[in-house]
Chains A and B, each alone.
Chain A
Amino acid sequence: MIKKILKSVREYKTASILTPIFITMEVILEVLIPILMTKIIDDGINEGRMDVILIIGGILVVMSIFSLLFGWLSSRYGSIASSGFAKNLRHDMYYKIQDYSFSNIEKFSSSSLVTRLTTDVNNIQMMYQMLIRIAIRTPLMFLFSLFMVYTIHPTLALIFLIIAPILGFFLFWISNHAHPMFEKVFKTYDVLNNRVQENVRGIRVVKSYVQEATEIKKFDEISEKIYQYFMKAEKLVSLNTPVMRLCVYTSILLISYIGGHYVVQGSLTTGELTGVITYAAQILNSLMMLSMVYVTCIISIPSMERVVEVLDEVPDIQNPKKPLKEVADGSITFEQVDFGYVKDKLVLKDINLSIKSGEMIGIIGGIGSSKSTLVNLIPRLYDVSEGRILVGGKDVRDYDMETLRKEVAIVLQKNVLFSGTIRENLQWGNKEATKEELDQACEIACCTEFISKFPQGYDTYIDQGGTNVSGGQKQRLCIARALLKKPKIIILDDSTSAVDTRTDAIIRKAFRSYIPEVTKIIIAQRISSVEDCDRVLVLNNGKIDAFDTPKKLLKTNKIYREVYESQVKGSDQNA
C-alpha cells in the first residue's frame, strides 16, 4: 500500500531526500551548539579569558548561521516535497478517475471520490511532511543527545536507557488507547455536521412546523455525546505532559545526585554536569514528538487505504487494441442482450431489436423498466452482460471510445451544466464550433429565444449546477450541447420533462427537418413526446413488451393504451 502511494512522489524525490539530509545537519549543529554555549562559560568567562570568548563566540556565530541555513533549506525542501507529493497524488487520482466507467464511478459514489481527493490527500500530505521532517529529526536528536551524554560519562547514559523505555512505553500506551476514542469523536462529529446541514437546508421546514426546540434538543444531545467522548480521550492525553515532566525531573535529580558524586570524585566537571542535564530534556522530548508522529501515522492509515482503492480500481471499460475510428451510419442492433449492474441480477433480459439509420424512436415504460439502462448501453457507458450491440453494423466494443461517443450523443437524465458561460458549455460538444453551428444547434433545441433575452447572450455566465437558468432552459441547453457533436445517433433520456409540450413538439419537428439522417431515440414520460415517432418501444420490467408504430400500439398494446388514456383523457377534459 505504502509502496503504491510513494509512486506519486516522482519529481519530488530529490526534495524528499534532501530534507532529511539538511535536517540531519541541522540536528548535528543543534546538538553541538549547547556544548559550545557551556564552554563559553566554563573556559571563557569563568577563566576570565576574553580571547576564548571571542573565538568560541565566533565559532558559535558561524555555526548558528549554518544552522539557520540548514533550517531554512530543510523547511523549504520539506514543504516542496510534501506539497508536491500531495499535488501528484491528487493528479494521479484525478487522472485515474477520468478513466473510470460509469460503474466504477457508481461503485465509489461521487461524494466519496470528492472526500478521497480532498480530505484524505490532505491527511497524507500532513503525514508525509511529518515523516520526512520530524520522524527523522527526533530519533536523530535522541541518538545524538544520548551519544553526547555517553561521551561525557557512560554511566550517566544508563539513566536514560532506563527512563526512556518506560516513558516511551507509557506514551505509546496513551496514544494507542486514545486513538480509538478520537475516531469515535470524529464519527460523532460527522453526525453533528449532518444535523447542522439538515437544519440549514431544511430551515423552512423547521420553522414552518415550529420545531426549533426539538432540533435544539436533538443537537444538544449530540453535542453532549461529543463532549463525553472527547473528555474521555483528552483526559487520557492530558496525562502526557505531567508524566513527561515527571520523567524529566526524575532524571535531572538522579543525574544531579550521581553526577555530583562523579564531580567530587573528579571524573566529571560541573560544566559537563549542566550539559548532561540540558540533554535530558532533549532526549525525553524527542520521545514525546515521536509519539505525535505515531498518532499522525495511525490517523492517516485509513486515508491511505482509501486513496489506494481509487488508484487500484481497474476501469472496467477499456479501448480495444485495434479500435475502429469510423462509424458507418446511425443504425443500431441489439442481439440477445442481457444486462445486470450486479451479477445474477439482470435488469435487461433478452433484448432483440434493430433500428434503421435516421429513424425516430420513442421509448416508454414505468419506473424501473430499465429505459435509461437500455440506451446507456449504446454509447458503451456500460458493457452488456450477454449478447452484443451493433452500431453502424459493428460491435460497440470494437470502436474507439471517443469516436463512438462522439457519434452517439446522449443527453443524460441528470443534466449537468458547468460553471462558465453558455458558449463554453455548448463548446463541450465541439470545441471549434463556429457561431453558425452554435446558432443552428440552439435553433433546433429551441434555445435561441431565451438566450437572446439574456443581456450577455452566449456569454451569460452559468452558475455552478446551472442554478440561474430554469429547469426547462437547462434541458434545452443540454440538448443543444449534444447536437453540436454532429452525431449520427442522438438519445434524449427524459430530457424534455421540464419543457412545455408545445416547445417539446417544436424540438421534435426541428429534429425531423434539420437532422433527418440522424437516428433519434427519445425516452419520455409524456405520451405526447413519443406520439409522432416512427416507432415506439414499450419496455416492461427489463423486457420488450412491444415495438411498433404508435398507431398500432394504441390498438394492440395494453401498457401503451393505459398511459395514453390516463394522459390524453386528462387533457381532453382540460380543453
Chain B
Amino acid sequence: MPKMKKGNVLLRLLKYITSHFKMPLILIVIAIIISSVCHVYGQLFMQTLIDDYITPLIGTTNPNYQPLLMAIGLMSFVYLIGVIFTLVQTRLVVNVGQGVLKQIRMDMFQHMETLPIKYFDDNSHGDIMSYYINDTDALRDMISQTIPNGVSNGIIILFTFISMLTLNIYLTITIVIGVIGMLIVARSIGKRSSLYFRKRQKSVAEVNGYIEEMIDGQKVIKVFTHEEEAKKEFDRYNEELFENTKKANIYANMLMPVMGNIGYLLYVIIATCGGFIAIQTNSLSIGAIASFLLLTRSFTMHVNQLSQQYNSLALALAGAARIFGLLDERSESNEGTVTLVNVVKNRDGTLQETKDYTGTWAWKEKDSNQLTELKGDIRFENVDFAYTPEKTVLKNISLYAKPGQKIAFVGSTGAGKTTITNLINRFYDIKEGTILYDGIDVKKINKNDLRRSLGMVLQDVNLFTGTIMENLRYGRMDATDEECIAAAKLANADAFIEKLPQGYQTMITDNGENISQGQRQLLSIARCAVSNPPVMILDEATSSIDTRTEKEVQEGMDKLMEGRTVFVIAHRLSTVRNAKAIIVLENGTIIERGNHEDLIKQKGKYYQLYTGAFELE
C-alpha cells in the first residue's frame, strides 16, 4: 500500500466529504461557530452580570431587579440560539457522518469488485474485511465526534485566546508557553500509548489467531490429550496480551489527569504572576486579572479536550489511509472492443443479431459490425506467464482445443494446470505469446463478454447467501425457474434439492454450511449449466463427490459437456480418460500430450501416474 502523509490523508478525506456533502458541511461549521460563540459569550457574560447587574444592587435599600431580569432575558435568548444551533449541528453531523460512511462503503465495494484477481491473491481476506469493519468504524468516530469536537474546541480556544490577548500580552505569552509544554507532554504520552496500542493490536491478532487455530483443531487436541500443552501455550499469549493491554490503557487513561493538572499549575502561575504585576505595578486592573484567570481555566480545559481527540484522530487517519489505499488500487483494465451478442442463424447460414436470449452467440467487432459465430476454438501460442516478474510459471505453452473437444490437464500441484485455465478468462494476463478465441486475440475481447462465454466449476465451491434457486440463477440472471430446474436435473442435483425441506427455496447460508461438500459441487455444476457457456473449465469439479455418486454426476456432466469445448483438471485419472487430448504438465511446461491410448503406449509420466507408480501431489 502506498504510504500517505497524515496531512494529505486528512485533506483528501475532507475533499471526499465536501464533494458529497458540501452544503450540510458548511451548515455544520456555521452551526458550530454560532453555538460555540454563544457558549463563550455566556461564560464572559457571567462576569458582566455580576459586575454590572448584581454588585451595584448590593447595599441598595430598594433594589431594582428589572435590569437584572432584562439581562437574564437577553442571555436566555443567546442561550436559546445556542441550543437551537447545537441541535442543528448534532442532527446534521448524523446525516453527514452516516452519509459519508454509506458512500465510502459503497465506493469501496464497487471498486473492490473491479480489482484484478491478483489483488485477492496478495491480500489476506481478513485484511480486506477489516476495511469494512474497523476502518470505517474509526472513520465514523472521527466524523461524528472528533471533527465536531475539534472544531468547537478550536473555535472556543481561538476566541479565548483573542480575549486573553486584549487583556494582557505578556500573560498570554506565558500561557502559550505553558500550553506548548502541555502539548509536548501530551505528545510523549500519546506516542507511548500508541506504541503500546500497536503492540496490543499485534497481541490481539496473535491471541485471536491462536484461539481460532486451536479451537478449530480442538478435536485433535482431545484425541492427542494435548490439553495441558495447549493451555500452557495459551497462557503465554494471554499474558503478553495482558501486558500490552495494561500498558496501552495506562498511558491512554493517564493523559486526562496529567493534562488537567498541568492546567491547574498553569493557573497558579498566572495567578501569582498576574497578582504580582497587578499589586506591584498597577499596570493591570484587578478585574482584568480575575477575568484573565477565568479565561486561563477555560483555555487549558479546552486544550486538554482537544488533545484527547489526538488518539482517535490518528486511528481514523490510519483507517482512512487504508481505505484510500484500497480505492487507489488499479482496477482491472477492460480495453477489449469485441463484444458478444445473441444471434439467430438464418436459413442461408448468415447470422442476425437479436436482443433476446437464443443460446447462440456471435462475436461482434465494434467498428465493422461484423459477426463471427462463437464456436469455442481456443489456441495458446507460445504463452509465457509469471505471477511475479522474477518467477516464470508457464513457459512456452502452445495448445489448441477445437470446438467441442475435451482437453484434460494432468500434473502435480504447482505444475500450472489451474494457471492455464485462469489465463483463458484473463484472470491473469500473459507475459508473452497470444491466446486466440475463435481466432480473435482474447485481449481484444471485452472481458465481461469473454467471461460470460466461459463456464467455470472449481474445486472450492463458493455459494452465496440466498435460496438455491437464486444460486443457480447466478449463472445467468434472466434464466427462468424452469431453466434452472432443468439445469439442476442435468447435473443430477435435482434429486437432493427436492429432498430438502424447502426444495429450491431452501436458504443457503455461510457458503452452504448446511449442505454437504458433494452437494455443493453438484450445485456448482448446475449453476454452470444454467449459464450454458460454449466453453467450460472444470477444475477438480468432482473431487468431493464420492465414487458412487460420481458415476451419476458423470452422466450429467457428459450431457453437459456435449457440444462444448471443455478443459478438465482432475485428480482422478479415470475422469480424464476419454478426453480428446491429455496434456501432462510439469514445472510449467508441457511434457507429454496425446490421447489416453497414445500416452499409455509412450510409457512416460502419464503411464507412471496411471499405473500408480507416481502419486499426484
Cα separation A256 to B280 with both chains bound (whole Å): 34
Complex CA gap A571/B547 in Å reads 12
Residues of chain A within 8 A of B274, CB atoms compared: 45
Known: A45-B271, A94-B211. A87 touches B242 (CB 8 A): yes
Among A95, A264, A402, A416, contact of B216 (Cβ-Cβ < 8 Å): A416
Contact B79 A253 (CB under 8 A): yes
CB < 8 Å neighbour of A227 from B49, B98, B280: B98
- Decide: A198 near B63, CB < 8 A? Known: A98-B231, A238-B91: no
Q: Does A336 contact B (CB under 8 A)?
A: no
CB distance from A277 to the nearest CB of B (A): 6
A84 to B247, CA, bound (A): 12
Name which of A163-171, A188-196, A298-306 contacts chain B: A188-196
- Give the residues in chain A near B98, CB-CB below 8 Å: 227, 230-231, 234
Minimum Cβ distance to chain A for residue B419 (Å): 13
A210-251 CB contacts (< 8 Å) to partner B: 210-212, 214-216, 219-220, 223-224, 226-227, 230-231, 234-235, 238-242, 245-246, 249
B216-A110 in contact (CB<8A): yes
Partner of B425, one of A70, A113, A208, A473: A208
Q: Which residues of B contact A264 (CB under 8 A)?
A: 54, 57-58, 60, 63
Q: A227-B99, A249-B79, A264-B63 are in contact. Are A41 and B68 (CB under 8 A)?
A: no
Q: Give every chain A residue within 8 A of B294 (Cβ-Cβ).
A: 41
Q: Is the CB of A204 within 8 A of B55?
A: no
Q: A114-B215, A253-B79, A499-B615 are in contact. Are A200 and B231 (CB under 8 A)?
A: no
Given A54-B272, A242-B87, A410-B223, are A195 and B211 neighbors across the interface (CB < 8 Å)? no
Q: Which residue of B lies closest to A119 (CB)?
A: B208
Determine the main DSSP class of B at the interface with A. helix
Residues of A within 8 A of B222 (CB): 101-102, 381, 405
Instruction: Write the nearest CB–CB distance from B150 to chain A, whole angstroms.
Output: 15
Q: How far is the CA of A246 from the CA of B475 in the complex (A)?
A: 59
Given A416-B220, A503-B615, are A199 and B276 neighbors across the interface (CB < 8 Å)? no
For A151, the chain B residues whose CB sits under 8 A away are: none
CA distance A207 to B227 in the complex (A): 44
Contact with B along A103-120 (1 / 0, CB 8 A): 001000010011001100
Instruction: Please give, as numbers and ranges, the residues of chain A lying within 8 Å of B455 by CB-CB distance.
Output: 208
In the complex, identify which listed stretch (A355-363, A434-442, A538-546, A562-570) lies at the interface while the others stay far away.
A562-570
Bitwise interface map of B from 222 to 265 toward A, beta carbon under 8 Å scored 1, else 0: 11111101110011001101100111011001101110110011
Q: Judge if B53 is at the interface, Cβ distance under 8 Å.
A: yes
When the two chains form their complex, are residues A83 and B245 in contact, meaning their CB atoms are under 8 A apart? yes
Q: Is there an interface contact between A61 and B268, defined as CB atoms closer than 8 Å?
A: yes
Kindly provide the distance from the CB of A42 to the nearest chain B CB, expressed in whole angstroms. Answer: 9
B237 nearest in chain A by CB position: A90
Q: Does A421 lie at the interface of the complex (its beta carbon under 8 Å from any beta carbon of B)?
A: no
Checking B50, B452, B527, B612 against A210 with a beta-carbon cut-off of 8 angstroms, the contacting residue is B452
Judging by beta carbons under 8 Å apart, are B448 and A210 in contact?
yes
Given known contacts A114-B211, A198-B511, A209-B451, is B86 in contact with A45 (CB within 8 Å)?
A: no
Task: Choose among B94, B97, B265, B293 the residue with the greatest number of A CB atoms under 10 Å from its CB.
Answer: B94
Whether B257 pairs with A80 at a CB distance below 8 angstroms is no
Query: A197 and B216: CB pair below 8 A?
Result: no
With A79-B246, A241-B86, A563-B548 as contacts: A200 and B258 at CB distance below 8 Å:
no
The reply to whether A46 and B290 form a contact with Cβ atoms under 8 Å apart is yes
Bound form: Cα–Cα A317–B449 in Å? 58
Residues of the B chain whose Cβ atoms lie less than 8 Å from the Cβ of A273: 50, 54
Interface residues contributed by chain B, number (CB under 8 Å) = 145
Please give, as numbers and ranges, the residues of chain B lying within 8 Å of A211 by CB-CB distance.
474, 477
**Once the chains bind, are B235 and A102 in contact (CB under 8 Å)?**
no
Chain A residues whose C-beta falls within 8 Å of the C-beta of B250 in the assembled complex: 75-76, 79-80
Q: Is A371 an interface residue (CB 8 A)?
A: no
Residue numbers of B with Cβ under 8 A of A are 42, 46, 49-50, 53-55, 57-58, 60, 63, 65, 68-69, 72, 75-76, 79, 82-84, 86-87, 90-91, 93-95, 97-99, 101-102, 105-106, 109-110, 112-114, 117, 120, 125, 128-129, 132-133, 144, 204, 207-209, 211-227, 229-231, 234-235, 238-239, 241-242, 245-247, 249-250, 253-254, 256-258, 260-261, 264-265, 267-268, 271-272, 274-276, 278-280, 286, 289-290, 293-294, 297, 413, 425, 427, 448, 451-452, 454-456, 458, 462-465, 474-477, 510-511, 516, 527, 531, 546-548, 551, 573-574, 577, 610, 612-617
Closest 10 CB pairs of A and B: A71-B257, A202-B462, A75-B253, A502-B612, A79-B249, A416-B217, A238-B90, A64-B264, A249-B79, A83-B245
Q: Beyond the given A84-B246, A223-B106, could you list 10 further A-B residue pairs with CB under 8 A, ordered by the A residue number?
A: A33-B264, A75-B249, A200-B125, A201-B511, A204-B458, A210-B452, A235-B94, A418-B217, A567-B547, A574-B610
22 A-B contact pairs sorted by A residue (CB < 8 Å): A45-B286, A46-B286, A78-B253, A83-B249, A100-B218, A193-B129, A198-B462, A199-B112, A200-B125, A201-B462, A206-B113, A207-B117, A207-B451, A210-B448, A212-B113, A215-B113, A241-B86, A242-B86, A256-B49, A260-B57, A381-B219, A405-B225
